[in-house]
């Protein structure tokens, strides 16, 4: 897997390079700002881009802006964004384009220290999944209002949708919740019905369900 990395902290950037190489990835370029990131992506057209949200010169949302530009210009390139804190507006803006095909992820930097979690997220995003940090999922769930269409979901259905948002498969959800795969399928079917998602490809409906969760969770 060919990766372009953007992180302005030299120490963290070097650490990420080593972690990526341990997962078997080839780091084509490692840069420190959004302009360099766009140039590196255009030069290498990697399979995966990993970028911090906040980068020079303003240290606000340069990485996020670059990620959105990459999604628009290179829709087949998977993007994983790293953030120091839970920033729901940034997560929602980035993941609003999650139905475009290539994988997309939003993780907190704390997750990087948990190598297995980080490596698993990289694999899932590179394979086309949408992966959201569990802490972001928790924040979205806690911010739901009574008028939210997701409010009709049962507590178990909310759990299932939250795990779907983390990129877990049906079998992965079953393992976490200690229920059967058949029970997971029933919960997901109920979620689709309650959110008004018409019959079609289940992969597509999963993305739409997660997008509904993101768009209304804050």
State both tokens at 99: 């139905």
Residue at which a domain ends, from 76, 99, 133: 133
Domain shared by 93 and 163, yes or no:
no
Can you give the pLDDT of all 218 residues of the chain as single tens digits?
999 999 999 999 999 999 999 999 999 999 999 899 999 999 999 999 999 988 888 778 888 889 989 988 999 999 999 988 777 677 667 766 555 568 888 888 888 888 888 898 899 899 888 888 878 777 766 666 555 667 788 889 988 988 887 778 899 899 999 999 999 999 999 988 888 777 665 666 776 777 666 665 44
Q: Please, which residues have CB within 8 angstroms of residue 59's CB and are 6 or more apart in sequence?
A: 8
* Closest listed residue to residue 151, CA positions, set 191, 204, 123, 205: 191
Is 8 domain-assigned?
yes
* Closest listed residue to residue 80, CA positions, set 88, 91, 204, 72: 91
Domain residues for the domain of 181 are 144-217
CA distance 93 to 88: 8
The β-bridge partners of 31 are: 6
The label of the residue with tokens 């948002």 reads 165
Domain shared by 120 and 38, yes or no:
yes
pTM score above 0.85: no
């Amino acid at each position: 897997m060919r990766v372009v990395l953007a992180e302005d902290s030299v120490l963290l950037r070097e650490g990420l390079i080593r972690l990526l190489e341990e997962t078997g990835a080839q780091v084509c370029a490692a840069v420190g700002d959004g302009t360099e990131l766009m140039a590196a992506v255009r030069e290498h057209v990697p399979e995966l881009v990993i970028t911090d949200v906040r980068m020079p010169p303003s240290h606000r949302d340069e990485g996020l802006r670059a990620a959105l530009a990459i999604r628009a210009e290179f829709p087949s390139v998977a993007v994983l964004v790293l953030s120091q804190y839970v920033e729901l507006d940034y997560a929602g803006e980035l993941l609003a384009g999650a139905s475009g095909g290539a994988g997309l992820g939003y993780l907190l930097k704390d997750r990087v220290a948990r190598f297995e979690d980080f490596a698993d997220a990289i694999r899932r995003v590179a394979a086309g999944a949408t992966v959201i940090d569990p802490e972001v999922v928790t924040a979205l769930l806690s911010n739901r209002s009574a008028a939210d269409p997701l409010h009709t979901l049962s507590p178990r259905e909310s759990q299932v949708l939250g795990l779907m948002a983390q990129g877990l498969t049906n079998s992965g959800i079953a393992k976490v919740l200690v229920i059967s795969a058949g029970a997971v399928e029933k919960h997901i079917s109920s979620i689709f019905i309650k959110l008004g998602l018409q019959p079609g490809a289940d992969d597509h409906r999963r993305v739409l369900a997660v997008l509904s969760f993101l768009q209304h969770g804050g």
